[in-house]
Amino acid sequence: MIAAIRKIVVQLDEVRVEMGRAVEPPTRRAVAMAVIANPFAGKYAENLDVLTTIGEELGGLLGAKCVAALGIRPDEAHSYGKAAIVGEAGELEHAAAILHPKMGATLRREVGSGAALVPSAKKMGGLGTAIDVPLGHKDAAFVRSHFDAIEARVADAPRRDEIVVAIAVTDSGRPHPRVGGLQVGEIQGKDGLR
Amino acid sequence: MIEVRRVLCHVEDIFHEFGPPPANPLRRGSIAAVITNVFAGRYVENIAPFMEELKPLGVTLAKRLLEVLDRPPGAIQGYGKAAVVGADGELEHGALWHSPGGYGMREVLGWTQSGEAAGRPGLGTPAAGRPAPGRPAPQPGNALAIVASTKKVGGPGTAIDVPLTHLNASYVRSHLDAIEVRVPGAPAADEVVYILAMSCGPRIHERLGGLRANEIERWDGQK
């Protein structure tokens, strides 16, 4: 593993009742976060391949942590998302290098499939900065019931020369979805959209 | 009957904090249950009976936390509890958690030398109660220390620092710690978040001396 990990945080959020109505089965969202050293803190580097490799590693590691926290088979995952918070001594492009080139492939291996884009968010931040990780259905981005987000935050990170990397996986959509759109039962799962 | 609206489990592995990484990372965790505050919006004088109703929740949360920590009961070294009361409640509603939170901890972590888990036969792990070699007095039980706590009234997403202490002796300095817990979106005005936290070890680079965990002698929950 190339990533120098200081800390891993895994959260499982289970909603059983929303607006007084039982959610059955409860919606469950997992988010796994790794606090890593930023190898490029404090300096401009043209080539960010090291971070891309770190992203590849973490897509698998954090994806597996989420699936384990949910206690499901990989193919039972519904939606996913990813995000990164870069400490002050880094730059936003460092988040992009982790998230975009290779992370999706290793994450998809952990959730069985994934024709859809893995939605993402990134920002610069300090200790305890929260980021809302967007969530979308893994096989069809247009599934409206699964448009959601989950907050990721590590109280003591990122320090200046660190990056918080987050992966979120669910086994469900929103608690009481009722705004129409493409339904799970209508997924074709070929083009990643519908 | 307590209605649990939402449960948030949190597990963290700390590998280092810029010092020499120990052989085993420190695992800590918390569990937060969001429940409806049945006393929200009005003053109720006699709230104490609700503590009895909260007891099963304390046990359920402690068991679930142990499960997500993926460690045996004997691996737990520190604990703490907390409550965040929504805006239509009062601090005293958070205090309702003192007794049931502690009860839950002892139900899953506690035992006595007679083989009973704090008065509840058949529970606990008496096998773990063997006197440690070299110890002046055998350990008479587990989960002997008061479960340290914090409470506050707060809005959705309020963070609370849950104090952690060694579960058998509050004065063990290496285990004096805290873990931040926060449920995005909760508590709503008519909700309460009840929290339990456990730690599998001391602070990651503890080096400030004081009473050591292997020096506990009095077994009075303090030293």
Residue of A nearest to B5 (CA): A17
Tell me if B220 is assigned to some domain: no
What is the domain range of residue B120?
4-215
What mean pLDDT is predicted for residues A116-141? 95
With beta carbons under 8 A apart, name residues in chain A contacting B182. Answer: 153, 155
Tell me if B221 is assigned to some domain: no
Q: Does A9 touch chain B (CB under 8 A)?
A: yes
β-partners of residue A44 are: none
β-partners of residue A151 are: A132
- Count of domains for chain B: 1
Tell me if B223 is assigned to some domain: no
| pTM for this predicted structure | 0.87
Q: What is the pLDDT of residues A13-67, one digit of tens each?
A: 999 999 999 999 999 999 999 999 999 999 999 999 999 999 999 999 999 999 9
Nearest CA of chain B to the CA of A190: how many Å? 34
Q: What is the pLDDT of residues B129-154, one digit of tens each?
A: 445 556 567 889 999 999 999 999 99
What is the domain range of residue A106?
5-186
Tell me if B140 is assigned to some domain: yes
Tell me if A194 is assigned to some domain: no
SS3 A193: coil
Measure the CA–CA gap between A163 and B164, rounded to whole angstroms: 27
Tell me if B20 is assigned to some domain: yes
What mean pLDDT is predicted for residues B8-32? 96
Measure the CA–CA gap between B150 and B82, rounded to whole angstroms: 5
How crowded is residue B163: how many other Cβ atoms within 10 Å of its Cβ? 18
Token pair belonging to A66: 């989420």
Is there a contact between B6 and A153 if contact means CB atoms under 8 Å apart?
A: no
Tell me if A193 is assigned to some domain: no
What mean pLDDT is predicted for residues A95-115? 96
CA distances from A50 to A33, B121, B159 (A): 19, 57, 35
Tell me if A20 is assigned to some domain: yes
Q: Answer for the pair B150, B163: CB distance below 8 angstroms, yes or no.
A: yes
- Count of domains for chain A: 1
pLDDT for res A129: 96
Tell me if A67 is assigned to some domain: yes
SS3 B161: strand
CATH code, domain carrying A154: 3.30.1330.110
